[in-house]
Homo-oligomer: A and B are copies of this chain.
Amino acid sequence: MPEKPPFSKVVAGLPPTVPFVPPEELERKTGTRLQLRLGANESTFGMSPHAREAMAQAAAESNFYGDAHCYPLRQELARLYGVDGDHLVFASGIDELLGLIARAFLNPGDGVTTSLGGYPTFNYHVEGFGGIIHEVPYQKGKNDLEGLSETAVKTGSRIVYLANPDNPTGTWYSAEELADFRASLPADCLLVLDEAYIEFAPKSADLPIDPSDRGIIRTRTFSKVYGMAGARIGYALTHPEIARAFDKIRNHFGVNHIAQAGALAALQDSDFVQKVVASVEQGRREYEELAQSLGFTAYPSATNFVAIDVGSEERAVSLREALWERGVFVRTPGAPPLNRCLRVTVGTPEERTQFAAILRETVQALSKS
Residues of A within 8 A of B (CB): 1-11, 14-16, 18-20, 22, 24-25, 28, 37, 40, 42-47, 52, 55-56, 58-69, 71, 92-93, 95-96, 99, 103-107, 110, 128-129, 158-159, 182-191, 213-216, 223, 227-232, 244-245, 247-249, 251-259, 262
Contacts and interface: CB of A to CB of B under 8 A. Distances in A.
A5 B189 contact: yes
Contacts of A190: 2, 5
A260 B258 CA distance: 13
Contact of A1 (B59, B158, B215): B215
B42 A65 contact: yes
Given A68-B20, A104-B8, A92 B256 contact: yes
Given A63-B43, A93-B253, A262-B59, A248 B14 contact: yes
A232 B67 CA distance: 12
A131 to B, nearest CB: 10
A60 B65 contact: no
Contacts of A8: 103-107, 110, 129
Contact of A7 (B43, B99, B104): B104
A56 B60 contact: yes
A249 B128 CA distance: 6
16 contacts: A1-B187, A2-B186, A2-B188, A2-B190, A2-B191, A7-B104, A7-B105, A11-B105, A22-B252, A25-B68, A42-B63, A44-B63, A55-B258, A59-B231, A66-B230, A258-B258
A182 B245 contact: no
B245 A257 contact: no
Contact of A4 (B68, B185, B188): B188
A66 B232 CA distance: 9
A62 B231 contact: yes
A47 B258 CA distance: 14
Contacts of A183: 1
A13 to B, nearest CB: 10
Nearest to A72: B24
Interface centre among A24, A62, A254 (most CB of B within 10 A): A62
A28 B61 CA distance: 20
Given A93-B254, A185-B2, A47 B24 contact: no
Given A3-B187, A93-B253, 13 more contacts: A1-B182, A1-B185, A1-B187, A2-B213, A5-B105, A11-B105, A16-B244, A44-B63, A62-B262, A65-B223, A92-B254, A95-B253, A258-B258
Nearest to A129: B8
Contacts of A14: 248-249
B188 A62 contact: no
Nearest to A226: B63
Complex A-B, nearest 3 residue pairs according to Cβ-Cβ distance, in ascending order: A2-B215, A230-B257, A62-B230
Contacts of A24: 67-69, 71
A244 to B, nearest CB: 7
Interface centre among A65, A129, A186, A189 (most CB of B within 10 A): A65
Contacts of A191: 2
